[in-house]
Structure 1
Amino acid sequence: MQASRRGRLALLVLLACCCAGFIALGSWQVQRLHWKRALIARVDARVHAAPVPPPSRSDWPRIGVERDEYRRLELRGTYLRGLETQTQALTELGAGHWVLSPLQLADGSIVLVNRGFVPDGVRPAPPPPGEVRVRGLLRISEPGGGFLRDNRPGQDRWYSRDVAAIAQARGLRDVAPYFVDAEADAGAGSGWPRAGMTVIHFRNQHLQYALTWFVLAAMALWGIWRLLSDSRHMRHHGGDADGNDAQR
């Protein structure tokens, strides 16, 4: 009897701990849901805002995802021809590469510009000569490499847009710690590279996760209620049985 009571008590404690943990996880997912919705709203506002000048050198150390990614910029400068880098890409147009070209601004700093996508086997057109104006979205550097593959600068194989590694491989100095996805140019025609193919998508499954945790918490509460109800039932019938035995 004592062992049975100890077992029920241990199970009650376990269910209570699980319930508290599930509620905490569900509440955390609700907080993440509000954060993700605010982030999506900020990014949407940036994408549709008027373009602004690129961040100054003094702002480079503070550039980050939440603060700056997808900010719409307008750059003016001259492309450094012959220093392009192609990084592997998979788009709605199929497999191919992004074409990154260094653009030197008036202050001497350099920004890598993703001029767009080229399919496998297609040679991209060179960047235009002379001073150009480029509008596009600020993107955060992608250090390391792609999924399960590391960049190989020595072999000129690139699976991600790692700004620092590309700058080092091309011997570029004073390079901004971000790159810019160029917007589609209405007058560019159907040539390659094809700009304006940035995909903006944020996974937002926090509501489903929160509901899952809260359902598990409710199940744990139901288990606690059943254990307590069974314990009261056993005590009640146990008392009746003892009384009957005493009358006999």
Structure 2
Amino acid sequence: MSASEAAPRTGSGAWRDLIAPGLSALLALAVLLGLGVWQLARKGEKEALIARIVSRSTAPPVAPPADWNPARDEFEHVRVTGRFLNDRETLVHGLAAGETPGRALQGYYVITPFERADGGLVLVNRGFVPTELKVQADRRDGLVDGGTTVVGLLRASEARTMFVPAPDPARGEWFNRDVPGISAARGLTDAAPYLIEADAVPGQTTWPRGGQLRVDLPNNHLQYAFTWFGIALCLLGVFSVFAWKRLHEPEPAGGA
């Protein structure tokens, strides 16, 4: 019988040839489906987190908690009374939304110790100043002297990622809102382990300007889930074509 007339490989040998690639494909399929299911679970968790943050941040302000628990208390809307220690403010490099959509302003966040009337200190992120107003003397009209009340959101210390430069406390160079680091550099031994992100003041024309925190957490987990499920579907398609060709390719000639 000629090669063109050879019968397809439908015997047990052909099926045995599919065992190893079939197991590999099955393992990869299980991993891909698992990643897709995990992303769906993360989607639910992220939606719950966003709802919790929005609920906390828009609630009437309350006193800060006596025992700080980031998982429970972060983004709580709080109110404190006392006075700013303006001579010990710290500037942290940052960006803020500009008046032109899509264009960011370069500048600093002004972190100022706040001496509470009921005792203790807490760092307050008073808001953003553009680079040209870095020097405090150039924004004297924005300083708050004497007793005042601050309303804002509780935030945990901002972790420094691998892409963020290390701080240089000696030169006053900070790139993340490092609560314990800034407190130590400023000699604040009894500062709270969190900071308060000050709310925006309606109609404010002076600097710094609060309300820079945007509760806008990305939630792309559904898209990621569809991606993993799509790759799994492609894997099924590719393996099906591979298996069909392997089972229907002609048996090798046995000799002349």
Checking the alignment, whether the CA contact within 8 Å between 1:118 and 1:124 is kept in structure 2 is no
Q: Show the counterpart of 1:166.
A: 182
Checking the alignment, whether the CA contact within 8 Å between 1:144 and 1:151 is kept in structure 2 is no
The amino acid across from 2:44 in the alignment is H
How far 1:221 moved relative to its partner?
2.5
Checking the alignment, whether the CA contact within 8 Å between 1:16 and 1:220 is kept in structure 2 is no
Q: Show the counterpart of 2:85.
A: 80
Q: 1:116 aligns with which of 92, 115, 127?
A: 127
How far 1:145 moved relative to its partner?
7.0
Distance 1:31 1:49 in 2: 27
CA RMSD across the alignment? 2.6
Q: Show the counterpart of 1:35.
A: 45
Q: Show the counterpart of 1:180.
A: 196
Distance 1:102 1:5 in 2: 74
Uncovered stretches (5+) of structure 2, i.e. residues with no partner: 1-8, 99-104, 252-256
Distance 1:198 1:42 in 2: 16
- The answer to whether structure 1 residue 105 and structure 2 residue 116 are counterparts is yes
Checking the alignment, whether the CA contact within 8 Å between 2:65 and 2:73 is kept in structure 1 is no
Uncovered stretches (5+) of structure 1, i.e. residues with no partner: 239-248
Distance 1:220 1:147 in 2: 36
The amino acid across from 2:200 in the alignment is A
Distance 1:190 1:39 in 2: 34
How far 1:199 moved relative to its partner?
2.0
Q: Show the counterpart of 1:243.
A: none
Higher relative contact order, chain-length normalized (CA < 8 Å, sep 6+): 2
For residues 205 and 143 of structure 1, do their structure 2 counterparts lie closer, same or farther at Cα, with a shift above 3 Å needed?
closer
Q: Show the counterpart of 2:207.
A: 192
The amino acid across from 2:70 in the alignment is I
Distance 1:116 1:124 in 2: 13
Measured against aligned partners, the alpha-carbon deviations of 1:91-145 in whole angstroms (never above 9, x if no partner) come to 1131111111111113321111111111112133364222211101111111447
Checking the alignment, whether the CA contact within 8 Å between 2:15 and 2:247 is kept in structure 1 is no
Distance 1:231 1:145 in 2: 50
Q: 2:64 aligns with which of 43, 51, 54?
A: 54
Checking the alignment, whether the CA contact within 8 Å between 2:92 and 2:110 is kept in structure 1 is yes
Aligned residues: 232
Q: Show the counterpart of 1:20.
A: 30
TM-score (norm 1): 0.84
For residues 144 and 211 of structure 1, do their structure 2 counterparts lie closer, same or farther at Cα, with a shift above 3 Å needed?
closer
Identity of aligned residues (%): 38
Checking the alignment, whether the CA contact within 8 Å between 1:88 and 1:96 is kept in structure 2 is yes
Distance 2:160 2:238 in 1: 48
